[in-house]
Amino acid sequence: MALKKTFCQNHPDRPAIGVCVITGQPICEECSTRYEGVNYSREGLRILQARRAQQNKIHWWPDRIWLVLATLLSPLCVLLIYLGLLALIFELGLRS
């Protein structure tokens, strides 16, 4: 594979040192931010930040919702089990 010399998308006179993992655009030393071992352009970092924020929002809700539902519904479940057992005992008492 021939290595093609590429230039920064923001600075056409500077050689690119890598590509942004998000946008795929070639970026120079100045435009590159190394984060978690990979290169990001400024735009790439913004997109990453937005994605992470979105993920946090998605992950935050179900956890809390299940906790609230479990807290509200557990007494109801206990009541239903209690009534079921009462019905069972009552029916067994009638048969004998």
Size of the site for Zn ion (CB under 5 A): 6
| 10 near Zn ion (CB under 5 A) | yes
Site pattern 16..45 for Zn ion (x: CB under 5 A)? ------------x-xx--------------
Task: Give whichever of 24 and 84 is closer to Zn ion, judged by the CB atom.
Answer: 24
Q: Where do we find the tokens 């400024």? A: 42
User: Applying CB under 5 A, which residues contact Zn ion?
Assistant: 8, 10-11, 28, 30-31
